[in-house]
Each structure stands twice: as structure tokens, then as C-alpha cells.
């Protein structure tokens, strides 16, 4: 059975609304996806019936504690962590990364080295630059390969030394959609004793994460990128959960994942996150009556989403190839990428394109998307960046057709 987006589109209220009597085309998924009614209902139900904090003897606190445990299990299953104790939550990936960078860098010294990349969102660059500055460590930045907007692996190999304490790298570019050979990076980093911190924010909506297969030390993502609420999720490998010394309030817990979680958690978002994971697994449940685990359902669902998204990518790129005045940054085919496309139209500023499309209820992004190193290396940082068009598995071929008709009519693509 082939995945059909029309099976899931009715579940998303935003996809079925009209503005000025016209439908909306959401090609802004890389900046944040739409959410299902089930996510909204879960958040509303928790807040309306059980709003409380942890540790109380009364019903709503007991329910909140159970919700927290369920959320950790959902996160464990989503990334295939060894234990729910490896999973922590926070406001977003950026906040978690700044927080974790302080704990990870506590013992860094002058002469230690850190590697970041020009492909990354700067939440996974600035946090490490500032932590290194505090400790007198040196930061090296890996160049991108301009041809395919991937990491320059030879440059990475040249920068890696026994002094490298940490490699911080994205799993997939939030601008070009390029997928990284993460296994190569992790194997090389571990060979010199370096930890690896993976930004999986853009990867998570499109491919199923498996931290045990990767062997990474840390991995972070954000639920609002995969059909959930604004919530940051982090995986910490078993060997670091207790050995790291997080900055925390006393007498907050000194054991387990809670030692990394400052203040009261966003419990309504945890409820929404659980519902988002259930949604992602739901397609598999429609296929047959097999008694599969949540992880198995997620695997089958993601296989279907990935196959469908590759057809969307092929369709989009084939249409793009018809035009001589459009530059695509990244891979010119559907393999080794997500359905996220960074383009520029000759003689036109990206902002003008986004504004023109926005007036027609076609949502796309423009700018640098905090991928400062990428845009600097491509000489785009002071020139308006790029137009970013991103598909999720709820997008359709008809929507892509409508997008290109709008570009043809209003922006004279030739």
C-alpha cells in the first residue's frame, strides 16, 4: 500500500482552512510543521483536567508524574535509546544545547579543540564557540562542499586530532536538505576520543532516528518540527547521564535525567509530544492487524513517508530543471536529501518572492535560517539568502503544481 497524503490531511486543522476564501499551501515545514487535532486535544485535555506539578500526593500530580514517564518512554522509542533515562526535555533544541554545552565543557582546558561545521544551524555552532571561549579551547569549522552543499569530509578529517574533545554536527541541513554521512563522522571522532553532538532537528520529520545504531554521544531535536508542540528533546548516552555535572538548582534531583531539567517542565507540551509520536506511528497501524511494537510501527510508517517524500522531491526537482534562471543549492536529485529546497531566481531577491507567494497563501521562507556559515561560504549572507521551499509528507503533487503556476505567472520564471 502506497502512502497517500489525503489519508492524513483531514487530521490537520491548519491544512483545511481558508484565508480570504482561498486555501493555504504550507511549504514552510522546515521552520515548523502543522499539528494534528490529536496533538491539540492532548494538550487541551491535560491543561483542562490535570494541570499540576510533580511530586504531589493528589490525583492531578500523580497524573502529571505518569505523563512525564510516558513522555520519556515515547522519546526513548522515537530515537531508539537504550532507556527512558537517557531522554531529557527542555524549551527547544537551542536552549537545551546551550545548557548541555556548559555541562559537557566543564573540564575543557586551553589547548583542547572543538569541531563545528559551516552547514549547521548556529544553535549548534555559537553554543560551542562560547563554551570554548570560556575555557580557552580552540574551535575549528569544517567547510561545506559547494557542489552539493554537504560537509567537506576531507576537511573534517584534516581538522580532527587527538586534542578534539567534541564534534558538533547536523544530521541534515535545515537549508539545503543535504543528509550527512553521520556514521563516518562518529566513527572518526570516536577513534580520537571525541564526543559527538548531533543536531537532528531537520532530520527527525523525515527519517527515523536510531541513536544506538549511530553510537552518538548526544542527539537533540524539536517536536514542533515533526507535527508536535514547541518542545526540545535530547538524548544523552548512558555513560554520560550520571558522569556529566549539569548546572542545576539544589536540592533538585542528582540522579537520572531530571538532573538536567531545570524548573517546571512544559507538561502540556509533553502531552502533545506523546500524541505526535502516536500520529507518526499511526500509518503503519492502518496497514494490517499485526501486533507490532510502537517502534516497529514507527519504522514502517517512516519507510512509507520517506518513499513518498522522495517522489515529491523528484517531482519538484524535475519541474525546477525546466528553468534556466533558477539556481538550486544542494543535490539536484531526490537521493541523500530531505524534500527541502534552497533556490534563488536570477535578478530577484528572495524576500520579494516570499512576499509575492505569501499574498497567494503560499507559505515559503526566505533568508539564512541561522545557517550563517553556509550562507557566508556561498556569498549569500548579505544578499538576501535563499528561498526555502520545504515539503512534509502532508504535501501533495497538486500543491507543487500550484506553486510553480504562481511562480510562472507572477515571477516570470523562464
* Count of C-beta atoms within a 10 Å radius of residue 170: 27
Question: Within the chain, which residues score under 50 in pLDDT?
Answer: 414
The domain defined by 5-37+293-411 folds into 3.90.1150
Helix then strand then coil, in percent of the chain rounded to 5, is 45, 15, 40
pLDDT at 414: 47
pLDDT at 289: 85
Class of domain 40-276: alpha beta
Interval 311-365: pLDDT, tens: 999 999 999 999 999 999 999 999 999 999 999 999 999 999 999 999 999 999 9
Does 40-276 match 5-37+293-411 at the fold level? no
pLDDT at 411: 58
Cβ within 8 Å of residue 363, ≥6 positions away: 24, 25, 26, 27, 28, 357
pLDDT at 253: 83
Owner of C-alpha cell 534556466:
324
Domain ranges of the chain: 5-37+293-411, 40-276
Interval 173-230: pLDDT, tens: 999 999 999 999 999 999 999 999 999 999 999 999 999 999 999 999 999 999 999 9
Q: Between β-strands 232-236 and 218-222, what pairing exists: parallel, antiparallel or unpaired?
A: antiparallel
* The pTM of the whole model exceeds 0.95: yes
pLDDT at 412: 54
pLDDT at 326: 94
Distances in whole angstroms, Cα of residue 306 to Cα of each of 169, 204, 245: 22, 11, 38
* CB-based burial label for 362 (10 Å; 0-12, 13-18, 19+): buried
Amino acid at each position: 500500500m502506497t502512502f497517500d497524503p489525503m489519508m492524513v490531511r483531514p487530521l490537520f486543522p491548519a491544512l483545511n482552512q481558508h484565508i480570504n476564501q482561498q486555501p493555504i499551501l504550507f511549504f514552510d515545514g522546515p521552520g515548523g510543521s502543522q499539528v494534528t487535532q490529536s496533538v491539540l486535544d492532548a494538550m487541551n485535555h491535560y491543561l483542562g483536567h490535570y494541570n499540576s506539578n510533580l511530586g504531589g500526593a493528589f490525583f492531578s500530580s500523580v497524573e502529571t508524574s505518569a505523563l512525564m514517564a510516558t513522555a520519556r518512554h515515547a522519546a526513548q522509542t522515537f530515537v531508539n535509546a537504550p532507556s527512558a533515562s537517557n531522554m531529557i526535555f527542555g524549551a527547544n533544541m537551542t536552549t537545551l544545547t546551550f545548557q548541555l554545552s556548559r555541562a559537557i565543557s566543564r573540564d575543557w582546558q586551553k589547548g583542547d579543540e572543538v569541531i563545528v561545521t559551516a552547514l549547521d544551524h548556529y544553535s549548534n555552532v555559537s553554543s560551542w564557540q562560547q563554551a570554548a571561549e570560556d575555557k580557552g579551547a580552540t574551535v575549528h569549522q569544517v567547510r561545506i562542499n559547494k557542489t552539493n552543499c554537504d560537509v567537506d569530509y576531507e576537511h573534517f578529517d584534516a581538522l580532527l586530532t587527538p586534542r578534539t574533545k567534541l564534534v558538533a554536527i547536523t544530521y541534515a541541513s535545515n537549508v539545503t536538505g543535504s543528509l550527512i554521512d553521520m556514521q563516518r563522522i562518529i566513527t572518526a571522532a570516536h577513534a580520537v576520543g571525541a564526543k559527538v553532538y548531533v543536531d537532528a532537528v531537520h532530520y527527525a520529520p523525515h527519517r527515523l532516528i536510531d541513536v544506538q545504531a549511530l553510537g552518538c554521544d548526544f542527539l537533540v531535536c524539536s517536536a514542533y518540527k515533526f507535527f508536535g508542540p514547541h518542545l526540545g528533546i535530547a538524548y544523552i548516552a548512558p555513560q554520560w547521564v550520571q558522569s556529566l555535572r549539569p548546572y542545576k538548582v539544589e536540592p533538585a534531583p542528582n540522579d537520572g535525567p531530571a538532573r538536567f531539567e531545570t524548573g517546571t517542565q512544559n507538561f502540556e507540551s509533553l502531552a502533545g509530544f506523546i500524541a505526535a509520536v502516536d500520529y507518526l506511528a499511526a500509518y503503519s497501524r492502518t496497514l494490517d492487524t499485526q501486533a507490532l511494537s510502537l517502534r516497529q510501527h514507527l519504522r514502517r510508517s517512516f519507510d512509507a513517508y520517506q518513499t513518498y517524500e522522495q517522489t515529491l522531491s523528484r517531482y519538484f526537482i524535475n519541474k525546477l530543471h525546466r528553468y534556466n534562471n533558477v539556481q538550486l543549492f544542494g543535490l539536484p536529485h531526490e537521493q541523500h536529501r530531505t524534500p527541502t529546497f534552497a533556490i534563488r531566481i536570477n535578478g530577484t531577491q528572495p524576500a520579494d518572492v516570499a512576499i509575492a507567494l505569501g499574498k497567494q497563501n503560499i507559505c515559503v521562507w526566505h533568508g539564512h535560517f541561522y545557517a550563517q556559515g553556509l550562507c557566508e561560504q556561498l556569498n549569500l549572507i548579505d544578499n538576501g539568502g535563499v528561498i526555502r521551499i520545504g515539503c512534509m509528507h502532508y504535501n501533495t503533487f497538486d500543491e507543487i503544481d500550484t506553486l510553480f503556476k504562481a511562480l510562472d505567472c507572477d515571477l516570470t520564471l523562464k
